[in-house]
Amino acid sequence: MNRSRSSGDKKVAQPPVSRITRSSGSQDRHPDPAESQDPGQSLYGKQRRRNTDSALAQDLGPISVNVENILPTSKEKKSRTSSDPVPAGQSSGSVSRSGLSSVARLVKLGRCKNVVVVAGAGISTSSGIPDFRTPGTGLYANLEKFNVPYPEAIFNIDYFSNDPQPFFSLAKALYPGGHRPNYVHYFIRMLHHKGLLRRVYTQNIDGLEKLCGIPEDKLVEAHGSFSTASCHLCYTPYPAEEAKSAIMNDNIPKCSFCTATVKPDVVFFGEDLPQKYFLHTEDFPKADLLIVMGTSLQIEPFASLVNTVRSTVPRLLLNRHAVGPFERVPLRRGDHMELGDLAETVRRFAELLEWNDEIEELMKRQEVMSIPTLVTSPSSLTFCPNAAASSEPETSRSEPQDQRGAGSGGEDTDSETDCKSSASSNASK
């Protein structure tokens, strides 16, 4: 993170770096190219190409949205008048239900070789981890026992400075180790396996992207993680395992330099985003497909990243509700939505891509190769309704790399374990 760290009695200043602070407002919002006053200029100061992307535009077809969950029933049609507002994300004209098939066709044609994924808490709900904002079941709806003045306060750095105990109580349930990756994580993993994933930008701090085998260089944990810890005041590094041990035993870890409270390097409201976040200035201009999944797009500046791809780039929203620019009526040309249960939607997408069998085989193989680990819950605050899921062993990161499907670029290799497994598999044939 972008901070000055103390060493001895002197402060060692780091070289100047770009700074963006996490906030729930819009002051740090990345600009939307569609809002530019000069229609001939893109966000990156280059003339927009109108003819060179014509082939891609033809393949995209009309804007599309799956209206399964937003079209009115016959009873609702009778009661709705012509003055009623159009549901979010629904075009006022006819709509197509070909969003997934249109994007799947582009991928199978080889037109999407630099896929950027933007992911939120919704991708982990199938693993037993709640999202933040779902009424009744979301994390923010179940914080009464922590006596915080408002839900977001539990992740506010100023509130933490005055009273760290609410966050530490919550952290005992949020620490990685009690949950496992699900089908959605492995779908993203398969994008990498096929050589199509440029980067995945995640808001999650659960570590499941790493656990399913997405390489470190392909992952941007925009809101930090539990893997490291430091003093919240002077930013002196602190052993992550010692911090975890203290928190799990209801103790408050203290900085050895200034005695202030230590916390995991999860990015709070009011803190700088990690330097790796700025890879977006390279990734989004080069993306040829943007997949947005499981996010409310309400936390800035992360939320407005989706506006920084080129105007000709297809954007696919896989979500329970229309959010952000996908609430616009009509949708931008090339925007597609598929609304409903995320795990089911991603599975249908994988079937259209003919990847489903490979993903299931990958999940089974990692289950067999996993090392049994007894996982116990250190806190009475449990977010895993499926007891079997929380007590099953964690998966390993190894994967035999003997699968080659359409679209495999071979540009990115997996772990050394994958290579060894592949060699062993080939030798046995």
Domains of the chain with CATH codes: 54-68+89-223+267-428 (3.40.50.1220)
Greater pLDDT, 58 or 130:
130
Q: Which two tokens stand for residue 247?
A: 């928190």
Q: Is the omega angle on the peptide bond into residue 85 within 30 degrees of 0, that is, cis?
A: no
What pLDDT sits at residue 357? 97
What pLDDT sits at residue 405? 38
pLDDT tens string 371-383:
544 343 333 333 3
DSSP string, 188-254: HHHHHHTT-EEEEEE---S-HHHHTT--GGGEEETTEEEEEEEETTT--EE-HHHHHHHHHTT---B
Is the pLDDT reported for residue 414 higher than 80?
Answer: no
The answer to whether residues 199 and 221 touch, using CB atoms and an 8 Å cutoff, is no
Q: Which two tokens stand for residue 107?
A: 């991928």
Greater pLDDT, 173 or 234:
234
CA dist 186 and 359 (Å) reads 6
Among candidate residues 223, 232, 280, 336, the one labeled active-site is 223
* Most confident of the following: 52-66, 327-341, 410-424: 327-341
Is the pLDDT reported for residue 38 higher than 80?
Answer: no
Known catalytic residue at 179? no
Task: Give SS3 for 6.
Answer: strand
Residues 6+ apart with CB under 8 A from 23: 269, 270, 299, 300, 301
Q: Which two tokens stand for residue 137?
A: 């079941």
The answer to whether residues 333 and 63 touch, using CB atoms and an 8 Å cutoff, is yes
What pLDDT sits at residue 129? 85
In the predicted model, what is the mean pLDDT of residues 263-279? 94
Q: Is the omega angle on the peptide bond into residue 301 within 30 degrees of 0, that is, cis?
A: yes
Q: Which two tokens stand for residue 294?
A: 């499981």
Q: What are the start-end ranges of the E strands in 104-149? A: 115-119
pLDDT tens string 123-162:
999 988 876 666 655 566 567 677 788 878 888 999 999 9
CA dist 114 and 310 (Å) reads 13
What pLDDT sits at residue 340? 94
In the predicted model, what is the mean pLDDT of residues 57-61? 43
The least confident of 50-64, 118-132, 275-289 is 50-64
The least confident of 79-83, 85-89, 226-230, 305-309 is 79-83
The average confidence (pLDDT) of the chain is: 73
What pLDDT sits at residue 90? 40
The least confident of 28-42, 83-97, 411-425 is 83-97
Residues 6+ apart with CB under 8 A from 339: 65, 66, 67, 68, 69, 70, 89, 317, 319, 320, 321, 322
